[in-house]
Amino acid sequence: MNNVFLEGKDFARSYILPYTDLTDKESKFPEESFKKLGEKGFLKLLIPVEYGGLGKGLEEHAQVCLAFAESCSTTALCYMMHNVALMCIQTHGSDELKKKIFTDVVENGKFLALAYSEFGTGTNFYISEMTIEVNRDYTTFYGSKSMVTSATYASYYLVLAPSVEEGKINNWVFPLETKGLTFEISKWQGLGMRGNSSCPMHIDNVTLDSSFRIGAEGSGEEQVFNVVAPFFVTGLAAVYSGTAMHLFEIAKNHVVDRQYPDGKTLANIETVQVHIGNIYKTAAASKAITLEAARAGANGEEDALAKILAARIVASEAAIECGRLAMRVGGGKAYNKSLPTERLLRDAYAGQIMAPSADVLAIWLGKALTGQMIP
Ligand SMILES: Cc1cc2nc3c(=O)[nH]c(=O)nc-3n(C[C@H](O)[C@H](O)[C@H](O)COP(=O)(O)OP(=O)(O)OC[C@H]3O[C@@H](n4cnc5c(N)ncnc54)[C@H](O)[C@@H]3O)c2cc1C
């Protein structure tokens, strides 16, 4: 893949867009799109070349998530989480774990998910209240995760759990078929992102040997802040920037097409022109800061963290604002759902509350800019 953004756009038009309406209406996980994501190589985007992957990094991750979200926010979000999970395995996993999981992704089109958030600690997803019992090389887990995107469809779930070392956490891989793992699909009633299948996962007497732990004992927090954070936060910025751009496209096409009996269109009305300009500038600014943050992050630049945090906050606000204005110029057609505007606005509302929430990130941004420790 040379230009992953354009290839992502082409892919999305052919294999994501046809399912996106049904994904929302029936709250249906985009299985068909994921099958094609495997066949066309997108699932292995971040897997190193020596394991059969494409060896791409943060910038390409952001570009592909953005490209997909310009067609379907749900599919982009599920895909984004898969990439984040792969990065933890790539940077901290044992050779054995890499070989097993990367091979399953490359050869069998399997994908991954993040089971981090809990009912108690909520947006502070890096604090786990799960309990563990350790018996030599085996660890037994008990607890619940509150919202697990791609639940029951992903083959591997990254789970944060306490370490035996006081105050530390570990990042584990739970295969879907592990005994003691159950999902409560009926509890997913999302306002938007309805195809995500983001339901609770219950972990009752799940026993795994240490080969399923990613990295050294107690290294979970380091993974969360050095790997999950840049890829997840930049990925979220990309998903919501893509959602904002999608809203612009829909609004623009609508105002050009909507004709009055005198032959004039909505696009001929000055107030509407101002609204369209505002939707565009908001979406384009969000996209620009997201791509810049990904570039700075990929190059390890000093201000990368601030840019990544800022991009994610800008993007979640941009998607909601673009949705608000797109509903306004969309009139009765948008309100009565003959345009997909209301679906995208519902999707956009997930942005501000996904962990770490926009409010938490605003505090982190202030800390990062003034040289203070995060969180
Ligand atoms: C579509 C969707 C998909 C998701 N998928 C996943 C997934 O795949 N894996 C996963 O692990 N989780 C997932 N989540 C969960 C998500 O990331 C959050 O952890 C979860 O939404 C937190 O919910 P809560 O009600 O417990 O938040 P709470 O912790 O109750 O926070 C609610 C609000 O309070 C405010 N707030 C709380 N603490 C602070 C603070 N310290 N400073 C400032 N403001 C604060 C913020 O405004 C925050 O939004 C998903 C969520 C959504 C919406």
Tens-place pLDDT, residues 95-131: 999 999 999 999 999 999 999 999 999 999 999 999 9
And the tokens for 80? 């984004």
- In this prediction, residue 66 carries a pLDDT of 98
- In this prediction, residue 330 carries a pLDDT of 98
- Residue 185: closest CA among 141, 154, 156, 147: 147
Could you tell me the CA-to-CA distances from 255 to 260, 275, 336, 337 in Å, in that order? 11, 10, 16, 16
Tens of pLDDT along 214-241? 999 999 999 999 999 999 999 999 999 9
The beta-strand segments (E) located in the chain are 112-115, 131-135, 138-148, 156-162, 169-175, 181-183, 199-209, 213-214
Sign of CA dihedral 129, 135, 136, 138: negative
- Residue 68: closest CA among 139, 134, 17: 17
User: For domain 115-218, which CATH number applies: 3.20.20.100, 3.40.1160.10, 2.40.110.10, 1.10.260.40?
Assistant: 2.40.110.10
User: CA 280 to CA 353: how far, in whole Å?
Assistant: 24
- Residue 169: closest CA among 109, 111, 126: 126
Taking 90 as the threshold, does the pLDDT of residue 375 lie above it? Answer: no
- Of ligand 1's listed atoms, the one at least distance from the Cα of 117 is 11
Tens of pLDDT along 133-178? 999 999 999 999 999 999 999 999 999 999 999 999 999 999 999 9
- Residue 74: closest CA among 184, 198, 185, 159: 198
Tell how far the Cα of 252 is from the centroid of ligand 1, in angstroms.
Answer: 32
- In this prediction, residue 50 carries a pLDDT of 98
- In this prediction, residue 1 carries a pLDDT of 80
- In this prediction, residue 340 carries a pLDDT of 97
Secondary-structure percent of the chain, ordered helix, strand, coil, rounded to 5: 55, 15, 30
- Of ligand 1's listed atoms, the one at least distance from the Cα of 190 is 1
Could you tell me the CA-to-CA distances from 79 to 8, 42, 73, 110, 316 in Å, in that order? 12, 9, 10, 12, 18
The answer to whether the CB of 293 is under 6 A from ligand 1 is: no
**Burial status of residue 307 (CB atoms within 10 A of its CB: 0-12, 13-18, 19 or more):** buried
**Minimal-distance CA residue to ligand 1 atom 39:** 360
User: CA 173 to CA 187: how far, in whole Å?
Assistant: 23
Tell how far the Cα of 127 is from the centroid of ligand 1, in angstroms.
Answer: 13
The answer to whether the CB of 116 is under 6 A from ligand 1 is: yes
Sign of CA dihedral 368, 371, 374, 375: negative
Taking 90 as the threshold, does the pLDDT of residue 350 lie above it? Answer: yes
The answer to whether the CB of 198 is under 6 A from ligand 1 is: yes
- Of ligand 1's listed atoms, the one at least distance from the Cα of 151 is 8
DSSP-assigned letter for residue 145: E
- In this prediction, residue 283 carries a pLDDT of 98
- Of ligand 1's listed atoms, the one at least distance from the Cα of 357 is 49
Tell how far the Cα of 145 is from the centroid of ligand 1, in angstroms.
Answer: 12
- In this prediction, residue 62 carries a pLDDT of 98
The answer to whether the CB of 125 is under 6 A from ligand 1 is: yes
- In this prediction, residue 2 carries a pLDDT of 81
The neighbour count for residue 49, using CB atoms within 10 Å, is 10
Tens of pLDDT along 277-313? 999 999 999 999 999 999 999 999 999 999 999 999 9
From the DSSP assignment, how many helices (H) and strands (E) are in the chain?
12, 8
- In this prediction, residue 88 carries a pLDDT of 98
And the tokens for 184? 């409560």
User: CA 279 to CA 268: how far, in whole Å?
Assistant: 16
The answer to whether the CB of 89 is under 6 A from ligand 1 is: no
- In this prediction, residue 304 carries a pLDDT of 97
- In this prediction, residue 358 carries a pLDDT of 96
DSSP-assigned letter for residue 228: I
CB 64 within 8 A of CB 57: no
User: CA 185 to CA 200: how far, in whole Å?
Assistant: 7
Q: What average pLDDT is seen over the chain?
A: 97
- Residue 214: closest CA among 51, 128, 121, 86: 86
Tell how far the Cα of 116 is from the centroid of ligand 1, in angstroms.
Answer: 11
The yes/no answer on whether domain 4-111 falls in CATH 3.30.110.70 is no
CB 181 within 8 A of CB 234: no
Mean pLDDT across 37-45: 98
* Domain ranges within the chain, ordered by starting residue: 4-111, 115-218, 221-369
Mean pLDDT across 335-363: 97
The answer to whether the CB of 79 is under 6 A from ligand 1 is: no
Mean pLDDT across 29-33: 98
Tens of pLDDT along 248-281? 999 999 999 999 999 999 999 999 999 999 999 9
The answer to whether the CB of 120 is under 6 A from ligand 1 is: no
The CATH topology of domain 221-369 is Butyryl-CoA Dehydrogenase, subunit A; domain 3 (1.20.140)
- Residue 61: closest CA among 3, 4, 102, 103: 4
Residue % of the chain over a pLDDT of 70:
100
Ligand 1 probe mutation, 129, 130, 193, 357, most atoms within 8 A of CB: 357
- In this prediction, residue 239 carries a pLDDT of 98
The answer to whether the CB of 196 is under 6 A from ligand 1 is: yes
Could you identify the residue written with the tokens 């050009």? Answer: 256
Could you identify the residue written with the tokens 């609004």? Answer: 251
Task: Give the chain's length.
Answer: 375
Tell how far the Cα of 213 is from the centroid of ligand 1, in angstroms.
Answer: 25
